């Protein structure tokens, strides 16, 4: 996986799969958010909140590889 992804590169399924395979902790949090976000929206605002919660999860799932690459410094020495 490349250290910095462009926005369009982050939308490809193989790039997303590689990102979540490499970052297992983030993938586990996303599984938890998948269940909790729509339920929280459903509890707060009913059916519209549930749909908005699911939509927000989908956006987070697709944009996480790009956001992670944009916010983390790749020039650090490990």
* Rounded Cα–Cα distance for residues 69 and 74 (Å): 8
Range(s) of the domain holding residue 13: 7-71
pTM of the entire predicted model: 0.75
In a domain, 77, yes or no: no
Is residue 77 very low, low, confident or very high in pLDDT (cuts 50, 70, 90)?
very low
Answer yes or no: is 65 within a domain. Answer: yes
Higher pLDDT, 66 or 4: 66
- What percent of the chain stands above pLDDT 90? 37
Q: Does 1 reside within a domain?
A: no
The total number of structural domains in the chain stands at 1
- Read off the pLDDT of each residue in 3-30 and give the average, rounded to a whole number: 87
Distance CA 39, CA 25 (A): 22
Query: Would you say residue 28 has pLDDT above 90?
Result: yes
Tokens of residue 2, six digits: 């490349």
Residue 2 lies in a domain: no
* 18 in a structural domain: yes
- At residue 2 the predicted structure's pLDDT band, cuts being 50, 70 and 90, is low
Burial class (CB within 10 angstroms; exposed 0-12, middle 13-18, buried 19+) of 66: buried
76 within a domain of the structure (yes/no): no
């Amino acid at each position: 996986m490349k250290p910095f992804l462009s926005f369009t590169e982050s939308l490809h399924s193989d790039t997303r799969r590689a990102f979540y395979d490499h970052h297992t902790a983030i993938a586990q949090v996303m599984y938890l958010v998948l269940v909790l976000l729509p339920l929280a929206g459903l509890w707060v605002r009913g059916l519209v909140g549930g749909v908005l919660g699911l939509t927000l999860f989908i956006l987070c799932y697709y944009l996480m590889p790009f956001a992670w690459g944009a916010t983390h410094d790749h020039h650090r020495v490990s």
